[in-house]
């Protein structure tokens, strides 16, 4: 089977790397593990030996017969679908009644990395953990903390929904075909979120922060003023929180964004 560029496929070839990645999942055997993009089944073959049920979601129809032949295990379920249109929410709600734990694992296609991560976040209330492989630069952005150059709205979102961690770097030579850049493994523990707020508020905070990062070269005062359509009110909000007007979005912490959100209330939902 050949890797297809349109699906961002790069297959893992190192067995020790596979074992190292899977070791980051919880060892509880009574677990549903969802693998997004199983490819040639390198991780999948190990997962079915460790966990009660493995659901693999694959978009490449050419891999269907190959995967079914390679992994005949009864606890293996293959769904041919695009993860972005797959009804993950309803699926997880039903499965949560059956399994002690549910986790997601994936070597993420580079071209839809953010979309898959956000979809995972939106369903995190039904999940225990997610282990993702991304391009190293993307992993550094996601796991960045306030004040770092890579800190962005995705960094804030990851912190809102989970305890995030940069696990380790993966050299590009461990894939076939060899990609242009190194990758990294990152983990999200949804049982230990840094902030205890409801899903609806998390979604609204994410939207607010995304808009405030749209013009990251501008000050927080200008961006917040544009967002709520009232620079004078924005100044009063920042004053009440003791936040310097001249700071830029990348030096505002997640906890400060939460405080801003609580005072802002409704904001203009326009880009």
Q: Are 10 and 17 in contact (CB under 8 A)?
A: no
Q: Is 39 annotated as a binding residue?
A: no
Q: Could you tell me the CA-to-CA distances from 195 to 3, 65, 254 in Å, in that order? A: 40, 44, 9
φ, ψ of residue 47 to 5 degrees: the values are: -60, -40
| The token pair that represents 143 in the structure block | 């796991």
Q: Is the dihedral of CA 55, 58, 61, 62 positive or negative?
A: negative
Q: Is 18 annotated as a binding residue?
A: no
Other CB atoms closer than 10 Å to residue 101's CB: what's the count? 20
Q: Is 82 annotated as a binding residue?
A: yes
**Ramachandran sector of residue 87 (left: φ over 0; alpha: ψ -120 to 50; beta: rest):** beta
Q: Is 10 annotated as a binding residue?
A: yes
Separation CA 135–CA 174 (nearest Å): 13
Q: Nearest 5°: CA angle at 80, between 74 and 81?
A: 135
Q: Is 237 annotated as a binding residue?
A: no
Q: Is 58 annotated as a binding residue?
A: yes
Q: Binding site membership: which residues?
A: 10, 12, 37, 58, 82, 107
Q: Binding site membership for S-adenosyl-L-methionine: which residues?
A: 10, 12, 37, 58, 82, 107
């Amino acid at each position: 089977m050949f890797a297809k560029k349109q699906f961002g496929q790069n297959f893992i070839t190192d067995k020790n790397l596979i074992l190292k990645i899977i070791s980051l999942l919880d060892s509880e055997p009574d677990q549903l593990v969802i693998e997004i993009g199983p490819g040639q089944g390198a991780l999948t073959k190990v997962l079915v030996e460790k966990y009660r049920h493995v659901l693999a979601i694959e978009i490449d129809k050419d891999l269907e017969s190959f995967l079914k032949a390679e992994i005949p295990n009864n606890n293996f379920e293959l769904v041919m679908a695009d993860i972005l249109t797959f009804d993950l929410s309803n699926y997880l709600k039903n499965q949560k009644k059956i399994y002690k734990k549910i986790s997601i694992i994936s070597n993420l296609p580079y071209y839809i990395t953010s979309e898959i991560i956000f979809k995972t976040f939106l369903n995190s209330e039904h999940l225990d953990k997610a282990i993702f492989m991304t391009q190293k630069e993307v992993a550094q952005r996601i796991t960045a903390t306030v004040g770092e150059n890579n800190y962005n709205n995705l960094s804030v979102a990851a912190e809102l929904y989970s305890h995030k961690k940069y696990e380790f770097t993966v050299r590009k030579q461990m894939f076939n075909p060899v990609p242009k850049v190194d990758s990294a493994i990152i983990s999200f523990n949804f049982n230990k979120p840094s902030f205890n707020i409801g899903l609806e508020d998390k979604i609204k905070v994410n939207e607010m922060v995304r808009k405030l990062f749209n013009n990251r070269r501008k000050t927080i005062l200008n961006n917040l003023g544009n967002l709520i359509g009232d620079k004078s009110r924005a100044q009063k909000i920042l004053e009440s929180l003791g936040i310097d007007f001249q700071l830029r979005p990348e030096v505002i912490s997640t906890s400060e964004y939460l405080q801003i959100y609580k005072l802002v209330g409704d904001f203009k939902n326009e880009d």
